Amino acid sequence: MTLVSFLIPSGSIFAVPSFAARTELVSLIENVTAASAKRYRATDNRGHVLDCIKVIANPYVHGQFIGVYHTMAGDGKIRVNLAVSTNLMDWTWVKELAGSGTDNGAAMPTIKHSPDGGFVLAWEQNNFDPHIKISYYSNWNDLELDHPSEMFSCPRTLSKCAEGTPNIYYACSNYVELGFHYFSNCDVDRQARGALNFRTRRWITTKETTLDKAVLALGYSANIGDRDGYIRFKGSDFGLIEGQKVKNDFSTFRCFIYDPVTKNAELLNMHTDGNSTAFSNPTITRVNINGRSAIFVSMFIFAGHDPLGPLIYYRLIDCDQGTNSVRSTPKNASSVCCERYKGNSEISTIADIENTESKEK
């Protein structure tokens, strides 16, 4: 029997294959008070706050996790930092990766391990001329030393004012797919997707209106900004996204879970120790810690009785063979990295974006 999803105006759904998995995942994310470990206003060992931290496992060092995040420095510039941890709560600073010198600041970093080796790092560059910058590091040693083998500054294509807050859907040594926001009409943040071919230096973007519609349907019509994902949970893929109800009112930021199968979002009713109410900049990662599978989440708390700033926590779960990508890594990843893959998103590869562009003309 084929299950079919039916959307109604409120964004609710009837029976769909991902519904049970989503319900369970929502309960795990929402209940911070029941977290296996958590930390409010999290910092590294040097006192840098872990703003907007994205965490992944380090495939080069057993039992180690990598975190990239930004921190406001004493000179007023925001800098991107790298740190490591073995327990996801205590972080040891390694190196600054961006934001000093003539950079005029750098923020909102994200990172992904490449199936053919190394790491791809992306962030929002330049506080006065916001755009995305992407680097590729061939191995862990190069990342520790901040010695990228590839670097690309993405020209703005959808907004003359700002583009940023990237997340990485897929990455390898020569090809990257990003989600990001653009400052629509220099007024509000809206969703977009981009693809970069390091070999040809070709950067292509498109608006991702499906994500916008999912949040707009719930009444959040101001900024629709940061997002992360996808992770696989109980056989289905999910991401997180932020939305703001009232422009310029940071207390109206909320986070949502997004289901790429039904293409709808669901508000996360967060439960924290201090009953915080406003959350933004969500990230989510599947990890293994001490032999157990877990969901790691980070958010930024804007309002409530918890310490304001970065919240990090994880929930131990039963292993379900989940992954952090809607795509399976091919066995011969190094030889096919630039080939066309098909994921659950509307825009999946450079070729798909070019096809979309031609249809819109």
In angstroms, the Cα distances linking 343 to 5, 292, 352 are: 19, 27, 11
Please write the tens of the pLDDT for every residue from 191-234. 999 999 999 999 999 999 999 999 999 999 999 999 999 999 99
Domain of residue 168, CATH code: 2.115.10
pLDDT band, residue 352 (cuts 50/70/90):
low
pTM of the model: 0.87
Answer whether 243's CB lies under 8 Å from 253's CB: yes
Domain membership of residue 336 (yes or no) is yes
What span, in angstroms and rounded, lies between the C-alpha atoms of 166 and 212? 16
Domain membership of residue 273 (yes or no) is yes
Name, in order, each residue with C-beta under 8 angstroms of 325's C-beta and a sequence gap of 6 or more: 169, 170, 230, 231, 232
Is residue 143 classed as helix, strand or coil in its secondary structure?
helix
Task: Provide the number of structural domains found in the chain.
Answer: 1
Is residue 178 classed as helix, strand or coil in its secondary structure?
strand
Please write the tens of the pLDDT for every residue from 93-106. 999 999 876 667 89
pLDDT confidence of residue 76: 82
- Report the percent of the chain where pLDDT is more than 90: 78
Q: What is the mean pLDDT of residues 14-37?
A: 90
- Answer yes or no: is pLDDT of 326 > 50: no
Domain membership of residue 343 (yes or no) is yes
Burial of 332 (0-12, 13-18, 19+ CB in 10 A): exposed
The beta-strand segments (E) located in 1-61 are 37-40, 51-57
Q: 24-28, 76-80, 345-349: which has the minimum mean pLDDT?
A: 345-349
Q: What is the mean pLDDT of residues 7-25?
A: 68
Q: What is the mean pLDDT of residues 234-260?
A: 97
Structure tokens at 130: 């916001």
Domain membership of residue 11 (yes or no) is no
Domain membership of residue 148 (yes or no) is yes
Domain membership of residue 4 (yes or no) is no
- Answer yes or no: is pLDDT of 338 > 50: no
- Answer yes or no: is pLDDT of 324 > 90: no
Please write the tens of the pLDDT for every residue from 295-306. 999 999 999 999
Structure tokens at 163: 């583009």
The better pLDDT of the pair 266, 327 is held by: 266
pLDDT confidence of residue 357: 46
pLDDT confidence of residue 12: 46
- Three-point CA angle 181, 183, 186, nearest 5°: 180
pLDDT band, residue 177 (cuts 50/70/90):
very high
Please write the tens of the pLDDT for every residue from 120-158. 999 999 867 899 999 999 999 999 999 999 999 999 999
HEC assignment per residue over 108-145: EEEEEECCCCCEEEEEEECCCCCEEEEEEECCHHHHHH
Q: What domain range is 96 assigned to? A: 19-360
The beta-strand segments (E) located in 185-308 are 188-197, 202-207, 227-233, 236-244, 253-259, 264-267, 278-289, 292-303
Q: What is the mean pLDDT of the chain?
A: 87
Task: Report the first-to-last Cα separation within the chain, whole angstroms.
Answer: 39
Domain membership of residue 51 (yes or no) is yes
Domain membership of residue 3 (yes or no) is no
